[in-house]
Chains A and B, each alone.
Chain A
Amino acid sequence: MTDAVRLDNVHFRYPGARAGVAAIDLTIAPGELLVCIGPSGCGKTTLLKLIAGFLTPDSGRIFLDGADVTSGTTRERGCGVVFQSYALFPTMNVWENVAYPLRVRSVPPRARRERAEAMLAVVGLDGFAERAPFELSGGQQQRVALARALVFEPKALLLDEPLSALDAATRLTMREEIRRVQQLRNIATLLITHDQDEALSLADRVAVMRDGRLQQVAAPQHLYDKPVDGFVATFVGRANLIKAVVAGPEAVDTPLGRLIVPRHDRPVGTRLDLLIRPERIDTATTAPSLPNTFDVRIARDAFHGASRQVEVALGAGSLHIETITRSAIERVRIPPEAVQFLPLH
């Protein structure tokens, strides 16, 4: 099956600046929702602009539905774009906004209005057709923007931080709404965000970006369980990253002390990073005889309702722990299978 969106070794530098993207290889399958995540300034919005045609790559090729659109204009590409600021046209009412792509495609007025209203019904805005954009709440404006970006059956849907301007409650509703509509229309979608929660819960696949490069592209679970490096590990979910030196086939030395780890074949003396997810650490009072059991002193203890985030001092270092227990924590165990090796960066 042809990829809906494909980027082949795309490079772009802003003139006179160091920011940009480099060596981007990325595909989005038809109907797939790909979430691109990364810290601000990592190039994720640049990536969206390159696909939409607002920017032209310095080198590399961009394909939409198998056709090379690298030198095509934004207009020729026909991607539905939803902007962070919604970018609704202030002089048009809701249905005129949604019908605008049909108007410039010379669809007759009656058909325009019908299709716009049908699309508004899909995003849950029946009866809002005659309203002016400024009369709507943020979430409603976002729905109009979504309807407008989908009404002309674009090749791909591109969403630039669509939820960041909304309040927390609306954000959750809109998140599910975007997913629902995206699946209903079965459209290849790129969603840009800096919210890891959004990325993990929405995406078919997540692309993690850093300094203009794709660090890892994988399904959310895979990304969480098998991050390629410390950056991905800390950016997606919470993580303990611990410097270690191999001390034997099943042991490493760390600032926390010696840890028993799953069997491996790295030579003694190898330096590496360990990843231990905070929720994998066992806080139930365990027998001191089990491996990797340590007495700890609590440095910080924060109650979050559903969970409890605890920082404990251990040896010359510290550990973040996420737990549901309400009782005192005096001793923790790090199950050997919870310890992952990461290459040293």
Chain B
Amino acid sequence: MLPRWITAAYLAFLAAPIVLLVVGSFGALWLNTLLPTGVTARWYAEVATDPSFRRAFLSSLAVAAATCLTCLVIGLPFAYAIFRAESPRMRALARVLYQLPVALPALVLAFGFILAFSSDALPLLGSIWLLIAGHVVLCMPYFLQTVVADMQRLNLHTLEQAAESLGSSGLERFFHIVTPSLRHSILSGLIVVAALSIGEFQFSNLVAGFLNRTYPIVLLQAFYGATGFACAATVILLLLALTASIAGALSAGSRARFLVPAH
């Protein structure tokens, strides 16, 4: 009985803020009461027409897409190189290096970027490219982890040896065997990257220029204004993140089905 209550209490604790946000986003007036009064869709319309929110929303999408693309283009060969490294020591070292950004607070990275790129030599601070570069650094470990783990699980090395013995060249192997075999983990890795990039605040808040502020940064400012407006804006972010994780779950599900052997 007790575990059930604990579970219920935990779920309530987890869901309450989200439920309140959704309720708040449709509430006409919310001042010092437990629940808002009146029902309206006005706040969503306001968020949708607010130029700074529109710009931030598009900025976020652009940064997330560019981060995904960069992670794919750089990360896939990188993961492959780590996987294929002959010496186990090299593999261990590479793993420590690429996991480092996970341990590194985004704040530290942001200060580093500010120092490095506000100089006259590299005056890049405020450009969207710098923002993307930072997101790539922060998201890459998660992408690599997903893909490298899948390479090991699939026993990719043997698959490649088989292909090689059947007459397949290095490039043919990469496009016929490696990439298709990894399609599920590449997809789920990219979904994690997209979700992280969309929600990233610490780094973006310090490094983004005024014109390419991402959604979470603009969102923070919304909380100084009308509560309903802030709630609606947050719900939109929540929906974005939810879409990403549902897509992730679906891709993981299809992979699980793919793995179950039939007898």
Contacts and interface: CB of A to CB of B under 8 A. Distances in A.
Interface string B169-202: 1001000110011010000000000000000000
A104 B181 CA distance: 18
A170 to B, nearest CB: 12
A134 B260 contact: yes
Nearest to B179: A91
B159 A89 contact: yes
Contacts of B167: 75, 78, 101, 104-105, 152
A85 interface: yes
Contacts of B166: 80, 100-101, 104, 148-149, 152
A135 B158 contact: no
A78 B168 CA distance: 10
Interface string B134-162: 00000000000000000000110011011
A87 interface: yes
Contacts of A77: 165
B259 A134 contact: yes
Contacts of A100: 163, 166, 168, 176
A34 interface: no
B261 interface: yes
A81 interface: yes
Chain B residues touching A, range: 20 to 34
A74 interface: yes
Contact of B165 (A81, A89, A90, A136): A81
A105 B169 CA distance: 10
A54 interface: yes
A110 B260 CA distance: 31
A235 interface: no
Contact of A134 (B159, B163, B181, B262): B262
Nearest to A137: B263
Question: Which of B154, B161, B166, B260 has the largest number of chain A CB atoms within 10 A?
Answer: B166
Interface string A74-118: 110111110101010111000000001101110000000000000
Interface in A36-88: 52-54, 73-75, 77-81, 83, 85, 87
Contacts of A103: 176
What 4 pairs across the A-B complex have the smallest Cβ distances? A87-B162, A101-B166, A91-B180, A81-B165
Interface of B: 154-155, 158-159, 161-169, 172, 176-177, 180-181, 183, 258-263
26 contacts: A52-B165, A54-B165, A74-B164, A75-B169, A78-B167, A79-B165, A80-B165, A81-B161, A81-B162, A85-B155, A87-B159, A89-B162, A89-B176, A90-B154, A90-B181, A100-B163, A100-B168, A100-B176, A101-B167, A104-B167, A104-B169, A134-B258, A134-B261, A136-B262, A137-B263, A152-B166
Given A80-B165, A85-B155, A134-B258, 14 more contacts: A53-B165, A75-B164, A75-B165, A78-B167, A81-B161, A81-B162, A87-B155, A87-B158, A87-B159, A89-B159, A89-B163, A104-B168, A104-B172, A149-B165
